[in-house]
């Protein structure tokens, strides 16, 4: 009988952002220590002697995908909505070396949606992305579930 198992890998990254138009302090540039939980599912490999025997997907492979698609581009970056004014900072390439421009408001919700698209495109065919949970603070998170978005 087919047995589907879920596996989860947890990541952390630091990123600054601003929410233009927001009625509160978050309209100013500020930073978060984000935590991202990535859950994928599939049938464990049952090929005896195979390197991936007993695994849905090697945690190391999942880590490499998420590192490449999400963590490396965003860790220690400043995420700004396209059109935001940053001219007041000047033109210091050290200071502004890692600005990530996005066409959407950089909320936790929009980030987790963006991550789902990036990660989904890189997983092997036999593995499904089940859910993402992105903590923006200790008390606030957004979740994406494949089952909500069929």
Which residue in this structure is represented by tokens 């890692």? 98
Pick between residue 108 and residue 127 the one whose CB is nearest to ligand LPXRUNBV: 108
The residues that touch ligand LPXRUNBV, with contacts defined as CB under 6 A, are: 19, 26, 107-109, 136-137, 139-140
Cβ nearer to ligand LPXRUNBV, comparing 26 with 55: 26
Distance in Å, CB of 33 to ligand LPXRUNBV, minimum: 11
Min CB(124)–ligand LPXRUNBV separation in Å = 31
Nearer of residues 26 and 102 to ligand LPXRUNBV, judged by Cβ? 26
Give the integer Cα–Cα distance in Å for 50 and 3.
19
Alpha-carbon dihedral sign for residues 101, 103, 109, 111: negative
For the chain, how big is the Rg over CA atoms in Å? 18
Instruction: For the CB of residue 104, give the shortest distance to ligand LPXRUNBV in the complex, in Å.
Output: 11
Taking the least distance from each CB to ligand LPXRUNBV, the nearer of 72 and 137 is: 137
The secondary structure element, H or E, covering residue 115 is: helix 108-120
The dihedral built from the CA positions of residue 62, 70, 8 and 143, taken in this order, carries a sign that is: negative
């Amino acid at each position: 009988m087919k047995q589907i198992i879920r596996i989860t890998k947890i990541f952390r990254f630091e990123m600054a952002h601003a929410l233009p138009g927001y009625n509160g302090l978050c309209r100013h540039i500020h930073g978060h220590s984000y935590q991202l939980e990535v859950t994928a599912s599939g049938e464990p490999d049952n090929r005896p002697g195979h390197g991936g025997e007993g695994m849905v997907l090697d945690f190391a492979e999942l880590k490499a995908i998420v590192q490449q698609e999400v963590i490396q581009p965003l860790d220690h970056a400043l995420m700004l909505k396209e059109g935001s004014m940053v001219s007041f900072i000047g033109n210091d390439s050290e200071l502004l070396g890692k600005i990530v421009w996005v066409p959407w408001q950089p909320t936790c919700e929009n980030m987790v949606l963006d991550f789902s698209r990036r990660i989904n495109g890189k997983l092997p065919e036999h593995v499904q992305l089940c859910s993402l949970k992105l903590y923006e603070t200790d008390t606030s998170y957004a979740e994406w579930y494949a089952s909500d978005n069929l």
